[in-house]
Amino acid sequence: MAGTTVITFGTFDVFHVGHVRVLNRAAEFGDRLLVGVSSDQLNQAKKGRRPVFTQDERMEIISNVKSVHGVFLEESLELKRQYVEEHGADILVMGDDWSGKFDHLNDICKVVYLPRTPSVSTTAIIEHITTIA
C-alpha cells in the first residue's frame, strides 16, 4: 500500500483522553494508523486483572476513533515483529512507558516513543469510581 503506515499497540481499557491523544499523535507520523488492541488474555497475563471492557468492545471503540484506519487483536507481546511485517508498518509508535523496549525492531521499522499524558490512567479512573460509588 502506498503511503506511510503507522502501527501502535495498547489495551485502551476505559478509554480516556490519554488514549485519544496518543492515537492522534501517532496518526500524524503517517498516512494510515493501525492499532493492535491487546486481547483479554494478554491483559490478564500482563496486568493480573481482566479489563473492564472486553476485547471486542475495546476494538469497536478504537475502530471508531477518527484517526484510526484499522484494528486487529494483539495476542502476545512477543509477536510485535510479526505484526509489523504482516501489516507492512513503516513506523511503530508507543507511549514512553515502553521506552527502549522495542528498539530491536529498528531493523524493520522506525520506532518512536511518545510522552504519556500526565495525571490520567485507567487504574486511577477505576479507583476514583470505586471511591465515589
Tell me which residues touch ligand C2G (CB under 6 A): 9-12, 18-19, 22, 38, 74, 77, 94-95, 97, 116-117, 120-121
Please answer whether residues 34 and 73 qualify as being in contact, where contact means their C-beta atoms are separated by less than 8 angstroms: no
Min separation Cβ 2 and ligand C2G, Å: 26
Min separation Cβ 93 and ligand C2G, Å: 8
Cell (9 digits) for 120: 490520567
Round to whole Å and give the CA distance between 116 and 131.
Answer: 25
Report the residue number whose CB is nearest to ligand C2G: 95
Nearer to ligand C2G, 2 or 47 (CB): 47
Round to whole Å and give the CA distance between 62 and 12.
Answer: 8
